[in-house]
Amino acid sequence: MKRVYNFSAGPSMLPLAVLEKAQRELPDYKESGMSVMELSHRSGLFTDIITGAEDLLRELMNIPDNYKVLFVQGGASQQFAMVPLNLMKNGKADYVNTGSWSKKAMKEAKKYGQVNVIASSEEDNFTYIPKLDQNMFDPEADYVHITTNNTIEGTAFREVPDTGNIPLVADMSSNILSEEIDVSKFGIIYAGAQKNIGPAGLTVVIIREDLIGNASDICPTMLDYQTHSESGSLYNTPPTYGIYMAKLVFEWIKELGGIHAIQKRNELKASLLYDYIASSDFYQSPVAEDSRSIMNIPFVIPGLDLDGQFVKEAKEAGLETLKGHRSVGGMRASIYNAMPVEGVEALVSFMKKFEEENK
Ligand code: PMP
């Protein structure tokens, strides 16, 4: 068997222990004589999977009792519509524009109400996270939307903005479960699964209960948070296998010592890479130091046309998918929870060798 270090931004690496457990359980799940993919979503065995997944997520993230956990489909992109359709009672919301995904969220929200861009780093190619303070927010805004980790640009909010009584909505697709956060500071947290949770096709929504039940009249049933909340995410057939895989990933995080332990590991991995980039005059990080993501780390080789060669030789060395996003160029290493420390060490060694050979 050959396993590579996969630095893809998503879908991305899953822990090998999780894949192996899924493999063992695949043809005959808990003596049912069938795989999880073949189980009815109303069966007792699947009920144990979905409630088990929710319980583990609540435990890992310390989710308060007045929040619901929903397992839905449509990706994070569908949340770009669900959020305004459910929350825009006054018809306006504040958005912070920190990159391509924030822009897509704003574009969608504009269909349903007024979008106020209260801060943006677009003029500087999204290389930093704008500073926010309370008086920037419109007191009548239905919510404030942020993208906590900008997958393409490699920036992240290092602190949660205080929005007072205005619900804070966060797209946490690329950094959920990577570091400790205080869920009570958020109205809604949503994330596509395909980075830190499991396979693509599942979206996790963590929502404060008072934000459920206010959907606009035109909101389709499937996009109403209430539909999923009152049915325990079983209004229709949920992405059963994705939920099963998420449960295995949550168990894996718990065994590693929970989010506290995974955060330490993530910080170590990120500093290995950032420290090496800082020590080298060959590579450069395009991102402001106080805004750097520990999940997605872009880097460039200024002045030399070597990106294609870097990506090709890295692939030959078992380091996959290091090409930067087409909108940014250069390279990007996505080092989500499942990337082992050894994978980042292997990348740094390769970068040193490449630097020596091409300087
Ligand atoms: N938001 C962020 C921050 C993302 O990184 C992505 C996907 N890479 C999305 C939204 C879109 O997610 P999906 O493909 O699940 O719709």
Q: What is the pLDDT of residue 188?
A: 99
| CA dihedral sign of residues 320, 323, 324, 325 | negative
Cβ atoms of residues 229 and 35 within 8 Å:
no
Q: What is the pLDDT of residue 328?
A: 83
- CA 331 / ligand 1 centre spacing (Å): 19
Determine what percent of the chain is predicted with pLDDT higher than 70.
100
Whole-angstrom distance, CA of residue 182 vs CA of residue 159: 10
Task: Supply 84's token pair.
Answer: 């305004």
Cβ atoms of residues 320 and 8 within 8 Å:
yes
Query: Torsion-angle region of residue 275: left (phi > 0), alpha (psi -120 to 50) or beta?
Result: alpha
Mean pLDDT of the chain: 97
Q: Is the pLDDT of residue 327 over 90?
A: no
Whole-angstrom distance, CA of residue 34 vs CA of residue 259: 33
Q: Which residues line ligand 1 (CB under 6 A)?
A: 10, 75-77, 101, 147, 151, 171, 173-174, 192
Which residue from 77, 172, 178 has its CB within 8 A of the most atoms of ligand 1, so it is best to mutate? Answer: 77
Residue 1 confidence class, pLDDT cut points 50, 70, 90: confident
H or E stretch at 169: strand 168-171
**For every residue of 85-118, which 3-state class applies, written as one string?**
HHHCCCCEEEEEECCHHHHHHHHHHCCCCEEEEE
Position in ligand 1 atom list of the atom nearest CA 101: 1
**ipTM of this complex:** 0.99
Q: Is the pLDDT of residue 189 over 90?
A: yes
> What structural domains and CATH numbers belong to the chain?
17-255 (3.40.640.10), 257-357 (3.90.1150.10)
Which residues are tagged catalytic? Answer: 101, 171, 195
- What residues are paired with 146 via a beta bridge? 170
pLDDT digits 0-9 by tens, 91-146: 999 999 999 999 999 999 999 999 999 999 999 999 999 999 999 999 999 999 99
Which residue from 152, 172, 174 has its CB within 8 A of the most atoms of ligand 1, so it is best to mutate? Answer: 174
Q: Is the pLDDT of residue 160 over 90?
A: yes
pTM value is 0.98
Q: What is the pLDDT of residue 326?
A: 85
